[in-house]
Amino acid sequence: MERYNGFASVYDIFMDNVDYDGWTGYIEKIIGKYYNSKPKLIAELGCGTGNVTERLAEKGYDMIGIDISEQMLSIAKMKAEKSGKDILYLCQDMTEFELYGTVDVILCLCDSLNYLTEYGDLKKVFSLVNNYLEPNGIFVFDVNTEYKFKEIYGCNSFGSSTDNAAYVWQNYYDEEEKINEYYVDFFIKDNNSEKYSRKNECHYEKAYSLEEIKAALKESGLAFVDSFDAFTFEPPHPESERICIVAREHGKAVLEE
């Protein structure tokens, strides 16, 4: 089942509490700290409906947005048409993404990398990132932590509703496999009637330790630079829910067959 297929139409409604302006500002600070000049071209993996992509384009960066969901990209493209932003959106799996050339910065936000439940796939993405980064280019990404999956999500249920939509999220975390499963039922009101349609999705995310991520970066030719408790520049701690990581292009790795 394709992730965010049913959720695409209401994604922005239920994510309206996310401070995308703050997130974009934080990314800009990281870029300013670790990239020696203003980057010309930035690619974002797992860009979704383009909330960060659009904001970075507004700040003058040339942007490429990549996502596996056609539905999410359709919404992102409509935003770009409305705002007049010249953003290239590509529908691609991040484990096989292709660019026309190299870029200065690659981003992967909103725990998109947690969706790679196999270590080998994580290495594939990292190797491709290294391949498409300009020499000394940087890779900025974040991951949800095991603490978040285990202590915050756990075996709990969550829900939210608006005037026209609602969802119920049932969560389960497998401590042995370090896999977080969540099943989401969406109820979306028909604009032409009072009826609601029901859609459901199943999502899986993997908890990776910082040590595993560092190892995958090294094996893929990328150099680990720094890590933070997300939205700060403080080191990660045992109760960090999200970690932001910076890596740098450091030679090209050959992808394994």
Alpha helix (H) residue ranges in 15-69: 20-34, 51-58
In the chain, the domains with their CATH numbers are: 8-145+207-249 (3.40.50.150), 148-205 (2.20.25.110)
Distance in angstroms (rounded) separating the CA atoms of residues 214 and 36:
23
Distance in angstroms (rounded) separating the CA atoms of residues 203 and 13:
19
49-93 per-position pLDDT tens digit: 999 999 999 999 999 999 998 988 999 999 999 999 999 999 999
Q: What amino acid occupies position 163?
A: D
Name, in order, each residue with C-beta under 8 angstroms of 130's C-beta and a sequence gap of 6 or more. 139, 220, 221, 222, 249, 250, 251, 252, 253
186-245 per-position pLDDT tens digit: 777 777 777 877 777 888 999 999 999 999 999 999 999 999 999 999 999 999 999 999
Asked if residue 2 lies in contact with residue 46, where contact means CB atoms within 8 angstroms, the answer is no
DSSP state letters, 167-201: EEEEEEEETTTTEEEEEEEEEEE-TTSS-EEEEEE
What tokens appear for 199 in the block? Answer: 């859609």
Query: Phi/psi of residue 43, each to 5°?
Result: -115, 135
Query: Phi/psi of residue 185, each to 5°?
Result: -105, 125
pLDDT for 109 equals 96
Asked if residue 154 lies in contact with residue 173, where contact means CB atoms within 8 angstroms, the answer is yes
Distance in angstroms (rounded) separating the CA atoms of residues 132 and 29:
22
* Residue recorded with tokens 């007049």: 84
pTM above 0.85, yes or no: yes
Asked if residue 206 lies in contact with residue 213, where contact means CB atoms within 8 angstroms, the answer is no
Lowest mean pLDDT among 6-10, 33-37, 157-161, 205-209: 6-10
Number of C-beta neighbours around residue 140 at 10 A = 22
Query: Phi/psi of residue 98, each to 5°?
Result: -130, 135
